[in-house]
Amino acid sequence: MTASLPHHVASRRQFLRVGSSLLALPWLESLAGAAAASGPPRRLVAICNNFGFYAPSFFPTEAGENYKPSEYLEILNDLRSKFTVFSGISHPDIGGDHASETCFLTSAKRPTSPGFRNSVSLDFLASRHVAGATRFPLLTLSTVEGGSLTSTSTGAPVPSLSKPSEVFAKMLVTGTPKEVEAEIDRLRRGRSVLDRMEERFGDLGRKLSDRDRQQVADYTEAVRELEKQVQSDEEWAARPKPEIESTKPTDSDERGDTVGRSKLMFNIIKLALQTDSTRVISLAIRGQDIRPPIEGVTDDHHNISHHGNDPKKIEQLKLIEKAEMKALRGFLADLDATRDGDGSLLDSTQVLVGSNLGDAAYHGTHNLPIILAGGGWKHGRHVAGNPKNNTPLGKLFVSMLQRFGMETDAFGSGQGTIDGLV
């Protein structure tokens, strides 16, 4: 049976409750009522890869619609019409080496200076605009513990969630702490939160259109797949690490599997958006001082990112970053294949992908690698700025916030919207 909810809430999203589990459903036209007339809600996802991307393999050499894809963008080329790539863009006067990660969504200057105080982040500002519309105004995620892209209006950091089981429970399970732990324990033992809901889904299905029934079937399959991945992640995290006579981490440490952790978070993000649990999400993809479990990579990721133009290190770096681009391609394709109203989940979601570093080898914060996908924009272009006199990244943020429904003409160091984005 459907949980009892105020009418204005039930019109936006529906829930099924069995025992201690409260499961959010995807946005369904059959249950949306008057809200269906305006279509699915607008959403925003911001992703930062803190070790950046090797510029010669990332940036196209031609601008406009007819650009030849770079080595990395070739991986995304089947989705070419779904994203815009930017060059010659950055936050002015950031500096700060790796500390610039905290400023990627804020544009606050000089994070290593004495007395530094951050400013409000893009995701936090967007979440305030839709506060109350969803169960969670904002999800701040990270592939490992520590660090956050999100800061409040006073510049205070918002802690990120990095443990998949915690995010899963936060998003899909409700009840007392004891009840929630019981559901997570069921998950660890291979039992799905869907197991006790089969009859409820059958009752719901009789009220839905054929398109919505297929959407629910796709959704439940995605939940089960995510549960399997969360269970596997929990099992590996609980296993003791091998004892070796060395202080150098090995690829057997799960922290080093940045790509695998990213994929798990991508699936969580998709479900969070699909269930309208939140409309604003940030994800920090954080490389480690650990060798990733990628064939052909023999050194730790951080050391390789400081390649110093060593060809052997660059080849290993490209192996890592190609794997990251393939994971991103899978995420965007998954959003594009997920129905949302008359379009796809990607159509209703702006996905910002980039890094706080333009040149990780020398901690450069100029010429950042930036992609904007989805969100209803007309894509398929390379918007090339001046590589010496960069366009403020804040101008792109202004465009994104306006598209999100906010009335603003400035963000951080950016005044007005960015040119070239249609």
For a pLDDT cut of 70, what percent of the chain falls above it?
73
Burial class (CB in 10 A: 0-12, 13-18, 19+), 296: exposed
Say which residue, 7 or 362, is predicted with more confidence: 362
Alpha helices for 71-150 (secondary structure H): 122-129
* Element counts in the chain: helices (H) and strands (E): 12, 15
Say which residue, 271 or 11, is predicted with more confidence: 271
Whether domain 35-174+251-415 has CATH 3.40.50.1820: the reply is: no
As given in the structure block, the two tokens for residue 3 are 């949980």
The three-state secondary structure class of 411 is strand
Categorize the per-residue pLDDT at 318 as very low, low, confident or very high, splitting at 50, 70 and 90.
very high
3-state helix, strand, coil in the chain (%, to 5): 40, 15, 45
What mean pLDDT do residues 393-404 have? 97
Do residues 393 and 365 make contact, with C-beta atoms less than 8 angstroms apart? no
- Say whether pLDDT at 317 is over 90: yes
Say which residue, 358 or 249, is predicted with more confidence: 358
Question: What Å distances lie between residue 287 and 51, 145, 243, 292, CA to CA?
Answer: 6, 12, 23, 9
Q: How many CB atoms lie within 10 A of CB 220?
A: 18
pTM over 0.85: no
Model confidence pLDDT, tens digit, residues 284-311: 998 888 888 999 999 888 889 889 888 9
Pairing of strands 21-24, 15-18: antiparallel
Domain spans of the chain? Answer: 35-174+251-415
Model confidence pLDDT, tens digit, residues 330-350: 999 999 999 888 899 999 999
| DSSP classification of residue 192 | -
Alpha carbons within 13 A on the beta-carbon side of 185: 7
What is the C-alpha to C-alpha distance for residues 102 and 93, in angstroms, rounded to an integer?
A: 14
Categorize the per-residue pLDDT at 26 as very low, low, confident or very high, splitting at 50, 70 and 90.
low
- Mean of pLDDT over the chain: 81
- Say whether pLDDT at 329 is over 90: yes
What mean pLDDT do residues 212-216 have? 71
Burial class (CB in 10 A: 0-12, 13-18, 19+), 229: middle
Angle, CA 89 vertex, CA 138 and CA 117 arms, to 5°:
50
Say which residue, 343 or 185, is predicted with more confidence: 343
| Nearest to 208, CA basis, from 397, 416, 36, 79 | 36
